[in-house]
Each structure stands twice: as structure tokens, then as C-alpha cells.
Amino acid sequence: MKSLKTACLLAALAAAPSAFAAEPIAPLAVDVPAGAYKLDKPHASLTFRVSHLGFSNYTARFGTFDADLQLDPKAPELASLTAKVDPNSLEVENPPAGFLDELRGPQFLDTAKYPEITFKSTMVELTSPNTARVTGDFTLHGATKPLVLEATFNGGYAGHPMDPAARIGFSAHGQIKRSDYGISLGIPEPGTTMGVGDAVDIIIEAEFNGPPLKDATPH
């Protein structure tokens, strides 16, 4: 009798999966047009952090990068993003003599051989009305691996008389292991922190400009 009741319960659950399905996430309502958006470079930053001896999170940045975004705010899960970075634009605070050349050289970024870092989104999943998980193909040092960016939509507008193009803004972060891309020099031995960490945190702040505000006159 118990087995019959169990079988009936399982059959009922299988017949009505919608009762247990997660509610779809509605995107944040925002008055911006759908279309092509271009990175507003003066209002964007790309930094990364890596553990140094376990004593600090050493922070560096890239000065030259670009991105293109196709976005429909009513269907953000259909968005697509492509980005490229010039690794030669690496910048650090107070570098010792020759340090930047070493980082750009064969033991690290090897920019002469690999002059570009790229990202191309493959999937966008809403995690709340204004946050999303953006998965894409990340190419660094000649290797391509999946990278997941946790992105927050900070808002936007369709345009303003003093700023006639649509504008939107995002914050995002992700993490890679540099050893996955063949950059392993200085990684600490297991159980120690003597060296430069394998995990690299990526931090992005970005604004994008989109279609112009109708009937707006640039100032």
C-alpha cells in the first residue's frame, strides 16, 4: 500500500512540475531604448587584484580597452557583449625600474605574442531585477576559457538635453586562475603564501552610450 501511495505521489509531482517552477524574474523597468551601445571610455575602468605574499591584494589596471553591447532592456537575457583589452596598456602604482617590462614580457602577459585580451558573451541569466550572471569566452595569453561576470545594472536614461545619447551604467566582477591561461610564474606552493596568487579578481565599472534622444540638439 505504501509503495502504491508513493508511486501515485511521484506521478502527481511529475504531472504538475509548474507548481514547483521558479517564478520568472522581471527585469528592472527603465526608460532606455533598445539597440547598440558603445563603451563611454572616460567613464569606465578595468582593474584586477592578486594576492601578494598573502599580505595585500596587489591592484593593477588596464588603460586601453573597448566594449560593444547589444541590449533590449525588456529582454536583457538576450543581450550580447564583446570587449577587447590592450595588454600593453597595463598600469601599476609606483613600478620599480623594469617591472612593467617584466609583466608585459614572456613570463607573464607576453604582449608581443598575444597583443589582445578579449571577451565575448555566450549567455546572460537574470539573478534579480537589476543583476545578471554574464557567461562568456575569455581569451588571454592565447588560451580561451569560460568566464562568469556577476553584473549589476546601476540605471540609465534615454537621454538629456545636456547628454543627448542614451546612457546606462554597470558594475561587474569575476575571477580567473592565471594558471589556466599558462601564466604560472610565482604561484605559491600548496599550503604557503610565498609568491603571487593564482586567483585574479577582475573589477569593472562601465557606462555605455546608446541611441540619441529624439529631437535632442547636442550641446
Per-residue pLDDT tens for 74-129?
999 999 999 999 999 999 999 999 999 999 999 999 999 999 999 999 999 999 99
Residue 150 grid cell: 556577476
Task: Read off the pLDDT of residues 27-56 as tens digits, 9 standing for 90 and up.
Answer: 989 999 999 999 999 999 999 999 999 999
pLDDT for position 218: 47
Contact indicator for 205, 44 with CB cutoff of 8 Å: yes
* Band of residue 11 on the pLDDT scale cut at 50, 70, 90: low
> What does the pLDDT read at residue 8?
59
Angstrom distance (rounded) from CA 186 to CA 197: 8
Residue 117: closest CA among 98, 96, 136: 136
CA distance 116 to 20: 46
Exposed/middle/buried for 25, CB within 10 Å: 0-12, 13-18, 19+? Answer: middle
Please tell me the predicted confidence (pLDDT) of residue 37. Answer: 98
Enumerate the domain spans of the chain: 35-212
- Cα–Cα distance measured from residue 170 to residue 151, given in angstroms and rounded to the nearest whole number: 7
- 17-21, 48-52, 151-155: which has the minimum mean pLDDT? 17-21
Mean pLDDT of 165-173: 97
Q: Is the pLDDT of residue 211 over 80?
A: yes
Interior CA angle at 128 toward 127 and 131, to 5°? 75
R_g of the chain computed on alpha carbons: 23
Average pLDDT of every residue of the chain: 91
What is the rounded average pLDDT of the residues 173-191? 97
Assigned C-alpha cell, 94: 609606483
Q: Name the DSSP letter for residue 160.
A: B
What's the CATH number of domain 35-212, 3.40.50.150, 2.40.128.110, 3.30.479.30, 2.60.120.10?
Answer: 2.40.128.110
Q: Is residue 200 over pLDDT 70?
A: yes
Closest listed residue to residue 205, CA positions, set 81, 66, 47, 80:
47
Strand runs labelled E in the chain: 35-52, 56-62, 65-71, 80-85, 90-92, 117-128, 131-140, 143-157, 165-177, 196-212
- What pLDDT does residue 65 have? 98
Retrieve residue 201's grid coordinates: 579578481
Question: Residue 140 and residue 210: Cα distance in Å, rounded?
Answer: 28
pLDDT of amino acid 63 = 98
Q: Provide the pLDDT confidence category of residue 203 given band limits of 50, 70 and 90.
A: very high
Report pLDDT for 7: 59
pLDDT at residue 60 above 60?
Answer: yes
C-beta neighbour count of 84 within 10 angstroms: 15
Give the pLDDT confidence score for residue 21 in this predicted structure. 57
Cell readout for 93 is 602604482
